[in-house]
Amino acid sequence: MPVHPRLHGQAPRARRPAPDPDRLRHPRRGPGRSVVVRVEHADVVVVGGGAAGLSAALAAVEACAAAGRDDAVVALVSKVYPMRSHTVAAEGGAAGVVPGGEDTLDQHVADTLAGGAGLSHPDAVRYVVERAAGELARLERLGMPWSRTAEGRPAVRRFGGMSRPRTWFAADKTGFHLLHTLFQTTLRERSIRRYDEHVVLDLLLTAEREARGIVGYDQQRGEVVVVLAPAVVLATGGYARAWGTSTNAGIVTGDGLSMALRAGLPLRDLEMVQVHPTCLPGSGLLITEAARGEGGVLVDATGQRYLADYGLGPVTPVGAPEPRRMELGPRDKLSQAFWHAERDGRTVPTRDGGVVHLDLRHLGKAVIDERLPLVSGLARRFAGVDPVHEPVPVRPAAHYTMGGIVTTASGQVLDDAGRPVDGLFAAGECASTGLHGANRLGSNSLVETLVVGREAGLAAAGVAGSRAPAQGTELVDHARDLADTRLAMRGRGTEPPAPLRKELGRVLDADVGIFRDADGLARASATLDDLHARFQDVRVADTADVLNTDWAQVLELGAMLTVARGAVAAAVARTESRGAHQRLDHPQTDDVARHSLVTLDPAGETHVRLVPVEGAGTAIGADIGTDIDTAVGTPGGTAVGTTQGDA
């Protein structure tokens, strides 16, 4: 596989390019307070500094260089320093078929389609699977320290729902090493201009829905920043932090999805939220599936392995896991088994809810220290147990969101009629490419960030090379108006944000969790409508221009409320059980698999339509099959504000 030469060799001495002569400052004209807007230009804007965003940025640089555009600028915008992006928390690994072994691409495709429960797109699955091993090998050439076998081949481990061991890993710190590798590689590239600690407030789209850049806020300087570009890649992560008990970092707040909704774009399958079965109680810290792949077992309060009693049998030998059985069943099935075991009185009561135990003791200290050092450290520090000598208490927590911005397999964003949105791309957890369907298989997500992130970056660079630079005072004026709306939140309002945030997490945990029903979803919907109405008068006490975290967190809360209302509305509309969405009052799975599509109208109402999967690739908004239109929300109550991040 050819490797771009600019990604190798001696790194340039200068970290940033020379000052851009196109950087302009536009003061507000006319009445009102003076607002200075810093205007900058780029060829491609990438929003999010995690694996998908960094992959997109590197690919865009490579494509521009290949086209002879060495003066191209790729703006990398992140609300945190990139190494604080949520990718760093990924533990288990990335799936890819190692050439020359017993595993096959067809088997990886079949496993992924089975896990997706009818909502995965076969073409999207094959698109990622066929490119997976190549991207993992590319990472190794950039310095990724994959664990290896004694023969020197990439080591692979078992993961839930996978019929073969195919998950590449770097001990149990895969995301940490992966993000380091990508970030260090970006430091070599003069063309990448970083905007760390910049809160992205909104997308800039023309009336014809053509991407023209973003409007953001520089937290370090206290300035509104407009970055005009003919192509934008959203790599902003998911929205599982909205739940009260979650494995996600505090930055994973649905920012890009909220921006897409406000732009009139559809979000697909928001109700499909994966609940990971093994997390530390209270903190929600993830205990990676790799612990079960190495042979760890789950036991109830009496020390008995309980999963076979809930449809995951037959029982496998301790320390000898078998694909798709017991501890290596799909994540949704393990979380559902916990739910039943808790109601059957088989869990251990704690102040943070019932727990079961993950027993690793039979693996021995040497295996735990070599293969699971992070798990061992987390258990000792946050649960007060040494997994070499004691079982680890675990319970489920919200982990991953399969739904997102509707895209093609390569990351091209589509509108509600299935048409490409010119110049707009999305990758990673914020995108719904058709890979994961109703339930993601562990280790498919990291490789998706690499494959789709790269393809989105290449495509964005191609668009930038074929279009004139984005410019115009109308865009800047529109951006200023958007920024003014967000900035006006400072120093006003009477509703404290902390109770709103706490109630949001509580109701999602209680009523939009592993199992749902009509009564619980109705309670959640009513609560979210109330929270949304109260949010319109939310208080932002801090009026500082620089590093105003009070304001930034309120913007994140607004994004979570917007996306959560969409997720609940989609859960109400889906009257079946499929994948991660299980309805106690509708246990059947419909014969026809349908996607949910959520849109937000100008009055702030959330609308949901269900469309058959067969039509999703060409006309996702067409009136085909059953068309359910559900309006949920308070007219005129559109939630405002968002930021960006990556998971």
Residue type, 320: A
**Which CA distances in Å does 461 have to 65, 114, 181, 231, 405?**
10, 35, 22, 7, 20
Do the bridges between strand 392-401 and strand 273-279 make them parallel or antiparallel, or are there none, so unpaired?
antiparallel
Task: Tell whether residue 88 is among the known ligand binding residues.
Answer: yes
Among 131, 193, 331, 395, the active-site one is 331
Task: Tell whether residue 383 is among the known ligand binding residues.
Answer: no
Q: Are 116 and 129 in contact (CB under 8 A)?
A: no
Q: CA-CA distance, 77 to 309, in Å (whole number)?
A: 49
Q: CA-CA distance, 226 to 228, in Å (whole number)?
A: 6
In terms of Cβ atoms closer than 10 Å to its own Cβ (0-12, 13-18, 19+), residue 615 is middle
Task: Tell whether residue 93 is among the known ligand binding residues.
Answer: yes
Task: Tell whether residue 48 is among the known ligand binding residues.
Answer: yes
Task: Tell whether residue 49 is among the known ligand binding residues.
Answer: yes
Strand order from edge to edge, sheet including 94-95: 94-95, 167-168, 156-157
Q: Quickly list DSSP for 17-64.
A: PSPPTT-EEEPPPSSS----EEEEE-SEEEE--SHHHHHHHHHHHHHH
Strand partners, 414: 420
Task: Tell whether residue 545 is among the known ligand binding residues.
Answer: no
Q: Are 257 and 430 in contact (CB under 8 A)?
A: yes
**Which CA distances in Å does 604 have to 103, 419, 637, 639?**
49, 24, 5, 7
* E strands present in 330-440: 356-359, 392-401, 404-406, 412-414, 420-426, 431-432
Q: Are 535 and 528 in contact (CB under 8 A)?
A: no
Residue 509: partners with Cβ closer than 8 Å, 6 or more residues away = 243, 244, 245, 398
User: What is the residue whose two structure tokens read 């109400």?
Assistant: 572
| 221 labelled catalytic | no
Q: CA-CA distance, 25 to 291, in Å (whole number)?
A: 53
Task: Tell whether residue 445 is among the known ligand binding residues.
Answer: yes
Task: Tell whether residue 52 is among the known ligand binding residues.
Answer: yes
Task: Tell whether residue 92 is among the known ligand binding residues.
Answer: yes
Task: Tell whether residue 399 is among the known ligand binding residues.
Answer: yes
Q: CA-CA distance, 374 to 285, in Å (whole number)?
A: 11
Task: Tell whether residue 239 is among the known ligand binding residues.
Answer: no
Residue type, 9: G
Q: Which helix (H) or strand (E) holds 378?
A: helix 373-378
User: Of the candidates 517, 607, 522, which has an alpha carbon nearest to the alpha carbon of residue 570?
Assistant: 607
* E strands present in 402-548: 404-406, 412-414, 420-426, 431-432
Task: Tell whether residue 80 is among the known ligand binding residues.
Answer: yes
Task: Tell whether residue 51 is among the known ligand binding residues.
Answer: yes
User: What is the residue whose two structure tokens read 């949304």?
Assistant: 532
Task: Tell whether residue 606 is among the known ligand binding residues.
Answer: no
Task: Tell whether residue 82 is among the known ligand binding residues.
Answer: yes
Q: CA-CA distance, 145 to 320, in Å (whole number)?
A: 27
Task: Tell whether residue 632 is among the known ligand binding residues.
Answer: no
Q: CA-CA distance, 481 to 19, in Å (whole number)?
A: 27
Task: Tell whether residue 440 is among the known ligand binding residues.
Answer: yes
Cβ contacts of 135-142, under 8 Å, gap ≥ 24? 135/96, 135/447, 135/450, 135/451, 135/454, 136/94, 136/96, 136/168, 136/447, 136/450, 137/1, 138/1, 138/3, 138/450, 139/178, 139/181, 139/182, 139/450, 141/3, 141/8, 142/7, 142/181, 142/182, 142/185
Q: What are phi and psi of 215, to 5 degrees?
A: -115, 130
Quick one: DSSP state of residue 121? -
Task: Tell whether residue 326 is among the known ligand binding residues.
Answer: no
Q: Quickly list DSSP for 128-174.
A: HHHHHHHHHHHHHHHT----B-TTSSBPEE--TT-SS--EE-STT-H
The catalytic residue positions are 331
Annotated binding-site residues for FAD read 48-53, 78-93, 255, 429, 445-446
Annotated binding-site residues for substrate read 276, 288, 399, 440
Annotated binding-site residues read 48-53, 78-93, 255, 276, 288, 399, 429, 440, 445-446
